[in-house]
Chain A
Amino acid sequence: MDAAALQAFLEASVRLGAPLALAALGETISERAGVINIGLEGSIIGGALGGALGALLTGSPGAGVLAGAAAGTAIAGVFALFAIGLNADQIIVGTAATLGGLGITGVVYQSVFGATGTALTLPTLPALPLPGLSALPAVGPALFSQAWTTYLAYLLAPALWYYLFRTRWGLELRAVGEEPGAADAAGIRVRRTRVLAVLGAGFLAGIAGAHLALAHAGTFAEGMSAGRGFIAIAVVVLGRWNPLLVLLASLFFGAASALQFELQAVFANVPYQLLLAFPYLLTLAALAGWIGRSRAPAALARPWPPRSGE
């Protein structure tokens, strides 16, 4: 690979990795609080439509991101109401949130743009080259000439790491995810902590969706989240519930996907379907070589208070 190709590859990696990172960082917080939200996909697609509509209405992609975040939070709110408020099973409610998110966005999209849809062109988030940093060879433009939502992911990773491992609130949140009983005994509000974590995850997933629509695709299409919510959940595991590693894992997955497109260009006679499987195989290989065991938060997916008699 020559320098230009390398740079383009890195750019693509960051583009593909950034939305994953945003969603996965949110999910990291939620899972650290003991809630697995497989309705992340619903929040992402909600964020994409919210972002698209917000940007169209105001003409400002920045406002679009906020609208997307609000939409993602709203869908996470429904999840929280059932999974935490009613203590219902997190996986079932998550399934419903994904299904509902995909459905509702479709309904709204079709009510706004008609049953056959429209070729939507959105005002996009411009790349903001960071002075100095973006001039670095190869990695500069790739990492530091991106939309601000990408920088948000960079900043969030260390911030959330600090929050989780160095602050009192982070400690309490982890306690809620490990041993809600012990946390409760220590006077921590378990449900409130969980609800806030889920809403935060929805907020970030919404931004991830808005980023897809406004910084990546420049349009909205039904189902454009294309399974990224599920990949984000896998990325959280790959990143061992540690925000810094989760960011790296997202970029790793982004790079694997980007490499796949380069490979299609290079190996024209390898069946492309096999190349499409490449990022997943590479991730499996990485996991196999990823030394040491990682452990999920002990109370992940366990409702609180525990259901008696079950």
Chain B
Amino acid sequence: MIRRALRARLGSRWIGPLAAGAVALLAAALLAAAGLALAGYEPVAAGRALVSGAFGSWERFASITLVRATPLILTGLAVALAFRAGVWNIGAEGQLYAGAVAAVWVGLAFPGAPAWLLLPGAMAAAAVAGGLWTLVPVGLKFRAGVGEVITTILMNFVAIHTVAWLVHGPLQEARGVFPQTDPVALAARLPRLGSGRLHAGFPVAVVLAGALWWLLRHSAWGFRVRAVGASARAAAVSGRIHTGRVVLGAFLLSGMLAGLAGGVEVAGVTFALYENLSPGYGYTAIAVALLAGLNPVAVLLAAGFFGVLQAGAAAMQRDVGVPAVWVSAIEALVILAVVAADRFLRRGVAGKGGG
């Protein structure tokens, strides 16, 4: 009793969990270091490469880490929005591809158009295409009662193979040789910010994250989305919410955000459409969104975390020669450590037990 009161006064409710969280991260670092050392790599150098690869200089941070984070922010927002509405959209990957196709198509089809028209046009097309790609899951959900988890997974595979066909067929570069499209018109590319590779897609993603956060929190629409996600039954019984409409809207908008991610990726980074355009952004996005607790602003941090991890891991390959397979294993370890730390913290703060 007394100890309890004392501890509460000293605020040590934070200290225990913080320590546990730190221990989790430290354990992961030690484990990774031990593994690397065993395999004959320099663990300290690897750690340094990891950090400097992500943060080494402002230019590096902007050109690599933030560029990597951008599609994860947009797809992370897509997933967060859908999950908030109780829509299990696992299909951000496919929707991203749909968006990329549309953006590239616009960027190629109107070479003479001015930038103020072409770029927004391409981005809008990307968003619309991403939204349209959800229509099959939406239709099956509403008409046949098929859950979206399976349909969106299947549509991802369909998207990937369709893109493969497009770059071998209708959208193939004019020479008809390689499986890729021609680069899009300059007017369809996102402007660069500063001297590095950072493009305007990043601030757009940040603004969208803020906007989505604000809308979810303050707008009637956002409230309806949250209510339907938290309890569709209670929302319906309140008599003020059309759950079907809310679900439909959130699904489409989620698809649009993911589509925009694809558009931004081609307009800001690759400039052409390729097979394997996405290294699984749409799947990583699920982890991003959940790590962020489905909070759009926290999605920025979670996406940044993955951006840092991947940028740093690539540097570990280049500078220390740690093979890519190690990199995946270490990424997994870091994710687990962060999750564990997060659990310790929350558990501690919420108070033990709790029914």
Contact = CB atoms under 8 A, between A and B. Distances in A.
B158 A280 contact: yes
Interface string A98-130: 011111111101110001000000000000000
A294 to B, nearest CB: 7
B147 A237 contact: yes
A288 B330 contact: no
A interface, size bucket? 35 or more
B157 A277 contact: yes
B325 A233 contact: no
Interface stretch (B189-197, B219-227, B343-351): B343-351
Contacts of A86: 339-340, 343-344
Contact of B153 (A233, A292, A294): A233
Contact of B342 (A88, A95, A288, A305): A88
Nearest to B136: A284
B interface, size bucket? 35 or more
Interface stretch (B2-10, B61-69, B121-129, B280-288): B280-288
7 contacts: A86-B339, A86-B343, A101-B332, A106-B325, A107-B325, A233-B153, A273-B169
Contact of A92 (B140, B151, B326, B339): B339
Contacts of A100: 328-329, 331-333, 336
Interface of A: 78, 82, 86-89, 91-93, 95-97, 99-107, 109-111, 115, 222, 230, 233-234, 237-238, 271, 273-274, 276-277, 280-281, 283-284, 287-290, 292-294, 296, 305-310
A293 B144 CA distance: 7
A191 to B, nearest CB: 14
Contacts, number: 158
Contacts of A287: 140, 144, 146, 150-151
Contact of B158 (A88, A96, A237, A281): A281
A88 B145 contact: no
A284 B154 contact: yes
Given A95-B284, A296-B147, A276 B339 contact: no
Given A86-B343, A305-B354, A308-B355, A99 B335 contact: yes
Interface string B174-216: 0000000000000000000000000000000000000000000
Given A101-B332, A271-B168, A287-B150, 9 more contacts: A82-B339, A89-B290, A95-B284, A99-B331, A99-B335, A106-B328, A234-B154, A273-B162, A274-B162
Contacts of B120: none
Given A91-B287, A110-B325, A284-B140, A237 B336 contact: no
**10 pairs of A and B residues whose beta carbons are closest in the complex:** A106-B325, A100-B332, A103-B329, A103-B328, A273-B165, A293-B145, A277-B161, A308-B354, A237-B150, A273-B164
A284 B159 CA distance: 13
Given A280-B154, A305-B354, A92 B290 contact: yes
Nearest to B342: A88
A129 B346 CA distance: 56
Nearest to A95: B287
Interface string B116-149: 0000000000000000000010001001111101
Contacts of A271: 165, 168-169
A234 B146 CA distance: 12
Chain B: interface secondary structure? helix
Chain A: interface secondary structure? helix
Contacts of B1: none
B323 interface: yes
A143 B212 CA distance: 53
A106 B154 CA distance: 27
B291 interface: yes
Contact of A276 (B161, B284, B344): B161
B303 interface: no
A307 B293 CA distance: 13
B351 A308 contact: yes
A234 B150 contact: yes
Contacts of A78: 336
B327 interface: yes
A95 B146 contact: no
A107 B326 contact: yes
A280 B329 contact: no
A82 B165 CA distance: 40
Contacts of B325: 102-107, 109-110, 222
Contacts of B164: 273, 276
A108 B144 CA distance: 46
B39 A93 contact: no
